[in-house]
Amino acid sequence: MSALEIMDPKMDSGIERSRYNSIEEAIEDGVAPIPLSTDRTLDVQCSIDVMDHLFSCEATWHKGHTLAQTVFTCIYLMRMERTSSHAVLNSFCRILRATCNAIISVVSTARTHEEEDFFTMSFGLPLRDEGDDKCLSILNSVEETISRQLRACKAQTFSKKKTPEDLESLQNNPDMEEDYCRAILCRLRFRKHFYHVVMSMRKPHGRGLELARKHVASCLNELGLMLKSREFLNSQSNITLQDDENCTTASGCQPVGFDVSLNSRLLSPTPPRAVKVLSWSNAIRYFEKLLHDFDVICALSLDPVLENVLHFIVQFQKSVPDLVPRAFLQTLLVQDGKLYGQNLFSDVISRALSLPDIIGDKEFQMNEFVVQLGQLVINLLKILCTNTAWQRRKLGKSLQDWSTISIQLELALKREFGETRNVLHHENMCMRVSKQLLIWTQEQAYWVASRFLTLGFELDLYSPGEYCMVYWYMYVVFTKLIEKMQLRVLSSSETSRRKGKKKKDHSKDSARDTTFSSSCLLLQCYVLLSEGLSMMLAVLRNESRSFQLPSIFNSEQERFMQHFDLLQKARVPEHISYYSFKESSSRAGITDLMKYNFFREIQKIIPSLRGSFSSQPEKLAELRQIEQVAEHNRIALNIISQVGPDDPSLRVSFEFTHHPHFAVAVVKRS
Residue 100 in any domain: the answer is yes
Note the pLDDT tens digit of each residue in 419-473: 444 434 444 677 788 888 999 999 999 999 999 999 999 999 999 999 999 999 9
- When pLDDT is cut at 50, 70 and 90, the band that residue 147 belongs to is very high
Residue 99 CB-half CA count within 13 A: 25
- When pLDDT is cut at 50, 70 and 90, the band that residue 417 belongs to is low
Checking if the pLDDT of 268 tops 60, the result is no
- The pLDDT value recorded for residue 497 is 58
- When pLDDT is cut at 50, 70 and 90, the band that residue 589 belongs to is confident
Note the pLDDT tens digit of each residue in 61-72: 999 888 888 999
Q: Which residues are CB-contacts of 601 (< 8 A; sequence separation ≥ 6)? A: 528
- The pLDDT value recorded for residue 648 is 84
- The pLDDT value recorded for residue 547 is 73
Share of the chain above pLDDT 90, in %: 60
Angle (nearest 5°) at CA 413 between 483 and 415: 145
- When pLDDT is cut at 50, 70 and 90, the band that residue 560 belongs to is very high
Checking if the pLDDT of 112 tops 70, the result is no
Question: Do residues 377 and 345 make contact, with C-beta atoms less than 8 angstroms apart?
Answer: yes
- The pLDDT value recorded for residue 111 is 76
Checking if the pLDDT of 243 tops 80, the result is no
Residue 366 in any domain: the answer is no
Of 300-304, 359-363, 596-600, 662-666, the range with the lowest mean pLDDT is 359-363
Domain boundary among 243, 275, 295: 295
Of 114-118, 309-313, 383-387, 534-538, the range with the lowest mean pLDDT is 114-118
Higher pLDDT, 501 or 271: 271
DSSP codes of every residue in 246-310:
G--SSS-PPPSSB-TTHHHHHSTTS-SSPP-PPPHHHHHHHHHHHHHHHHHHHT------HHHHH
- The pLDDT value recorded for residue 158 is 60
Question: Do residues 184 and 88 make contact, with C-beta atoms less than 8 angstroms apart?
Answer: yes
Residue 522 in any domain: the answer is yes
Question: Do residues 492 and 436 make contact, with C-beta atoms less than 8 angstroms apart?
Answer: yes
- When pLDDT is cut at 50, 70 and 90, the band that residue 122 belongs to is confident
For residues 258 and 54, give the distance between their C-alpha atoms in angstroms, rounded to a whole number. Answer: 10
- The pLDDT value recorded for residue 514 is 37
Checking if the pLDDT of 510 tops 60, the result is no
In terms of DSSP H, where are the helices of 299-387?
A: 306-317, 323-333, 345-352, 362-366, 368-384
Residue 304 in any domain: the answer is no
- The pLDDT value recorded for residue 597 is 86
Checking if the pLDDT of 503 tops 50, the result is no
Residue 520 in any domain: the answer is yes
Judge if the upstream peptide bond of residue 573 is cis by omega within 30 degrees of 0: yes
Report the DSSP pairing between strands 664-669 and 343-344. unpaired
Q: How many folded domains does the chain comprise? A: 2
Instruction: Please report, for residues 208, 240, 375, 646, the alpha-carbon distance to residue 213 in angstroms, rounded to integers and kept in the order given.
Output: 9, 38, 31, 59
Higher pLDDT, 473 or 274: 473
pLDDT (average), residues 91-112: 91
Residue 7 in any domain: the answer is no
Give the residues across from 338 on adjacent strands.
335, 344
For residues 208 and 480, give the distance between their C-alpha atoms in angstroms, rounded to a whole number. Answer: 41
- The pLDDT value recorded for residue 546 is 76
Residue 427 in any domain: the answer is no
Average pLDDT, the chain: 86
| Rounded-to-10 torsion of CA 139, 141, 146, 151 | 130
Checking if the pLDDT of 239 tops 50, the result is yes
Domain boundary among 273, 295, 317: 295
Checking if the pLDDT of 132 tops 90, the result is no
Checking if the pLDDT of 647 tops 60, the result is yes
Three-state SS for 344? Answer: strand
Q: Quote the distance between the C-alpha of residue 159 and its chain's center.
A: 52
Report the DSSP pairing between strands 343-344 and 650-655. unpaired
Checking if the pLDDT of 507 tops 60, the result is no
Domain boundary among 295, 330, 358: 295
Checking if the pLDDT of 48 tops 60, the result is yes
For residues 359 and 375, give the distance between their C-alpha atoms in angstroms, rounded to a whole number. Answer: 17
Of 40-49, 198-207, 505-514, the range with the lowest mean pLDDT is 505-514
- When pLDDT is cut at 50, 70 and 90, the band that residue 126 belongs to is confident
pLDDT (average), residues 70-85: 92
- The pLDDT value recorded for residue 263 is 72
Higher pLDDT, 417 or 137: 137
Q: Which residues are CB-contacts of 53 (< 8 A; sequence separation ≥ 6)? A: 74, 248, 249, 255, 258, 277, 280
- The pLDDT value recorded for residue 559 is 92
- The pLDDT value recorded for residue 9 is 58
- When pLDDT is cut at 50, 70 and 90, the band that residue 164 belongs to is low
| Rounded-to-10 torsion of CA 107, 110, 114, 119 | 0
Q: What is the largest CA-CA distance in the chain?
A: 96
Q: Quote the distance between the C-alpha of residue 577 and its chain's center.
A: 33
- When pLDDT is cut at 50, 70 and 90, the band that residue 582 belongs to is very high
Judge if the upstream peptide bond of residue 35 is cis by omega within 30 degrees of 0: yes
- The pLDDT value recorded for residue 121 is 76
For residues 601 and 525, give the distance between their C-alpha atoms in angstroms, rounded to a whole number. Answer: 8
- The pLDDT value recorded for residue 272 is 58
Higher pLDDT, 420 or 372: 372
Instruction: Please report, for residues 2, 467, 468, the alpha-carbon distance to residue 601 in angstroms, rounded to integers and kept in the order given.
Output: 41, 21, 20
pLDDT (average), residues 151-172: 69
* Phi and psi based region of residue 495 (left: phi greater than 0; alpha: psi -120 to 50; beta: remaining): alpha
- The pLDDT value recorded for residue 495 is 61
- The pLDDT value recorded for residue 591 is 85
3-state secondary structure string, 18-34? CCCCCHHHHHHCCCCCC
Question: Do residues 252 and 241 make contact, with C-beta atoms less than 8 angstroms apart?
Answer: yes
Residue 234 in any domain: the answer is yes
For residues 644 and 132, give the distance between their C-alpha atoms in angstroms, rounded to a whole number. Answer: 74
Checking if the pLDDT of 265 tops 70, the result is no
One-letter amino acid for residue 593 of the chain: L
- When pLDDT is cut at 50, 70 and 90, the band that residue 10 belongs to is low
Identify the domain containing residue 129 by its residue range.
23-295
Q: Which residues are CB-contacts of 38 (< 8 A; sequence separation ≥ 6)? A: none
The candidate with the shortest Cα–Cα distance to 278, out of 115, 58, 113, is 58
- The pLDDT value recorded for residue 124 is 78
Report residue 372: phi and psi, to 5°.
Answer: -65, -45
Share in percent of the chain as helix, strand, coil (round to 5): 70, 5, 30
pLDDT (average), residues 522-526: 95
- The pLDDT value recorded for residue 289 is 97
Taking the model in full, what pTM does it have? 0.89
Checking if the pLDDT of 217 tops 80, the result is yes
For residues 140 and 189, give the distance between their C-alpha atoms in angstroms, rounded to a whole number. Answer: 9
